[in-house]
Amino acid sequence: MSQAIGSIAILGGTGALGGGLARRWSKAGFDVIIGSRTKEKAADAVIKLKEVLGDEIKVSADDNVSAAKAADLVVLTVPYAHHANTLSAVKAELQGKILIDVTVPLRPPKVGTVQLPEAGSAAQEAQALLGEEVKVVSAFQNVAADHLNSDREIDCDVLVAGNNKEARQLVVGLVEAAGMKGFSIGPVANSAASEALTSVLIQINRQFKCHAGIKISGLPE
């Protein structure tokens, strides 16, 4: 998998979720570019990551547009309020690439209530905005950033939705590289299920003061 992908840009990589993915993939040997609205903010995140993992990891910093242009595969981890604006800014740089969209359409203050957009899901909005030359794959909505930013094993499965089967399988491989099991669940329209589950998990986390995830059971041995 690492040979098939030369570099991964994480837009919004200075946040907890993006930073956790950067930590997991850089530790697994991938070349990671942390993107942010400014290169300086991204550079601060790189310094902090190297303080934890060491200078030998392959992590660099850039602004979102430059990071998206330089990378082979791009990951979007910004809050939903910045989803459309960020995608519009990097639309040209994403053409012909895979975009992993981690976005959940949470609408404060009622983040524990499912509020999917008219298009069906954030990932469907991304696909419509970017066009068919970009392979949008939805993943990682149900994994807590707290787990990604730790060294412990993650007892959580990841649902992977997208219209292109090969792109989904590639992302399943990246899920496994980050220490979890990924499940290809069909077209990008099915991302509505995983996005909606996030609000359900927020309710569970509030009740039990934990970082719950999902597990797929009943699989053949």
Fill in the amino acid letter for 97.
K
State phi, psi for 159 to the nearest 5 degrees: -90, 130
Q: How far apart are CA 60 and CA 220, in angstroms?
A: 41
The pLDDT > 70 percentage for the chain reads: 99
Q: Which of 156, 155, 163, 12 is nearest to 77 (CA)?
A: 12
Tell me how far the alpha carbon of residue 15 is from its chain's centroid.
11
* Domains in the chain with CATH codes: 8-208 (3.40.50.720)
Residue 207: is its pLDDT beyond 80? yes
The reported pLDDT for the residue numbered 193 is 98
The reported pLDDT for the residue numbered 1 is 41
C-alpha distance from residue 100 to each of 11, 76, 138, 159, 192 (Å): 10, 6, 6, 12, 15
Residue 118 CB burial class (10 angstroms; 0-12, 13-18, ≥19): exposed
Mind listing the pLDDT tens digit for each residue in 149-158? 999 999 999 9
Cβ atoms of 84 and 125 closer than 8 Å? yes
